[in-house]
Structure 1
Amino acid sequence: MAKKSVLFILQHAPLGASLARAGIDTVLAYAAFDQPVSVLFSGAGVLQLAPGADCQRVGRRDLRRMIDSMPLYDIDAVFADAAALSAYGISGNLPPFVEAVESNAIRQLHERSDHILSF
């Protein structure tokens, strides 16, 4: 039986709701069980990619370190909405495995995924 591909859309800021961490935890759990996953950071979720967010100061786990571990889980399809990166002023210093994509590529990600989970 072929495995179903899952697109995770992470759209919450790292320090706002616990959904940001829950999304990353779920992505890593799927990948740990050898499930094919793609990740799209969208909207305020691109703030999770910004370096220097001091999550420990507010008693939260450092999401950027968790994101940086994605290649260890064989997660190589990681994308960020280019328009959101621009809107939030995030440029450069993204993890090297994260690809900025425009709206056409985002639409294609949606179309080729069997399931979409949004956090």
Structure 2
Amino acid sequence: MPKSLLIISRQAPWSGPSAREALDIVLAGGAFDLPIGLLFMDDGVLQLLPQQKAAQVQQKDLTANLQALSLFGIEHLYVCGESLAERAMAASGLNIDALQHLNGSDISLIIDRYDQVITL
């Protein structure tokens, strides 16, 4: 049985390649039917805002990658509710609808469920 993998995406979409790399890893894992999850926290929740203007900061728009997650069978999508609140973001206005909202100890429990964890 393949080991499960959790990717924790903590970087804003315009702060460098980390956000894109996290999504690439998740999509690749999904293509190979690996048990994989994706947790957005800290500035990583900013990736979930609609209407990113990536071209203005010479970055790639991640919206298509985010929308492809379900096509690749990625069903375990999580977002840190505290990170959303700190950035005054409403859960109703995010690019992805199927996010499970986690806080505090819930995040620790999710991390413990996975065999491998990568933070980007």
Does residue 88 in structure 1 map to residue 78 in structure 2?
Answer: no
Alignment of 1:1-119 (within 5 A): 2-91=1-90, 92-94=92-94, 95-119=96-120
SS in 1 for 2:97: coil
**Residue type matched to 1:115 in 2?**
Q
Identity fraction in percent = 29
Cα distance in 2 between the residues matched to 1:90 and 1:64? 17
Cα distance in 1 between the residues matched to 2:48 and 2:59? 15
Any stretches of 5+ residues in structure 2 without a counterpart?
none
Cα distance in 2 between the residues matched to 1:106 and 1:14? 22
Q: TM-score, normalised by structure 2?
A: 0.93
Q: TM-score, normalised by structure 1?
A: 0.93
CA offset at residue 56 of structure 1?
2.4
CA offset at residue 112 of structure 1?
0.8
SS in 2 for 1:65: helix
Q: CA RMSD in A?
A: 1.1
Q: After the TM superposition, which parts of structure 1 deviate over 3 Å for at least 4 consecutive aligned residues? A: none
SS in 2 for 1:7: strand
Count how many residue pairs are aligned between Structure 1 and Structure 2.
118
